[in-house]
Amino acid sequence: MKVKVFLHGYFSKFHEGPIEVIANTVAEAVALVTPQLPGFRPNAVRGRHRISVAGCDKVEDLYRPAKDGEIHLIPQFAGGKKGGYLQILLGVALVAVGWFAGIGWLVQAGALAFLGGVAQMLSPAPSSDDDQKKSHYLGAADNTVKIGTRIPFLYGEDLCGGHYLSFDTDAIITG
């Protein structure tokens, strides 16, 4: 089935106009288009591009034929977490009170609280690896890695810490 893939947002810089591919499902069309365009290659800072397909709200929708033979790829907005609303409301209230009372420092504090709430909403939430067991017996190692992490080879001179490739000891003291 012939499908037209339209790129929206900053994806439109990757290719002008629609891209025509022959695919049976939406996922197959996306898999055909994204490796072909250099703009979809992962970035060293941001990583892979997050793609949202218009009309596909569930994973099951990706494995159905495209509606009307068209697929619209949109950049997915990725924020951190849902927090920060209270801080934004507090900041707006402080700005309003400071403005009407004529207190300059209160307006500044409210503006900072507002911007901090916005930054909290947009920044990614940190992930914690509580289940990973770390050894405290080796001293202060510069690098800590999980099993399966790629280990780069360095050529020339560079200052970096080493990796312990095979060390997983749990000491249990019974007495």
Domain ranges of the chain: 2-75, 85-122
What span, in angstroms and rounded, lies between the C-alpha atoms of 102 and 54?
A: 48
140 pLDDT exceeds 50?
A: no
CATH number of 2-75: 3.10.20.30
Pick from 122, 64, 59: nearest CA to 88: 122
Q: Give pTM, 2 decimals.
A: 0.45
At residue 7, φ and ψ (nearest 5 deg) are: -105, 130
Averaged pLDDT, 117-145: 60
In this structure, how many other beta carbons lie within 10 angstroms of the beta carbon of residue 172?
A: 4
Give per-residue pLDDT as tens, 67-87. Answer: 888 898 888 765 555 567 888
- DSSP state string for 58-93: SGGGGGSPPGGGEEEEEEPP--S-S--HHHHHHHHH
> Is residue 20 a contact partner of residue 42, using CB atoms and an 8 Å limit?
no
Of residues 113 and 132, more confidence is placed in 113
Model confidence at 96, in pLDDT bands (50, 70, 90)? very high
| Own/partner pairs, 161-170, CB within 8 angstroms, 24+ separation | 164/135, 164/138, 167/135, 167/138, 168/133, 168/135, 169/135, 169/137, 170/133
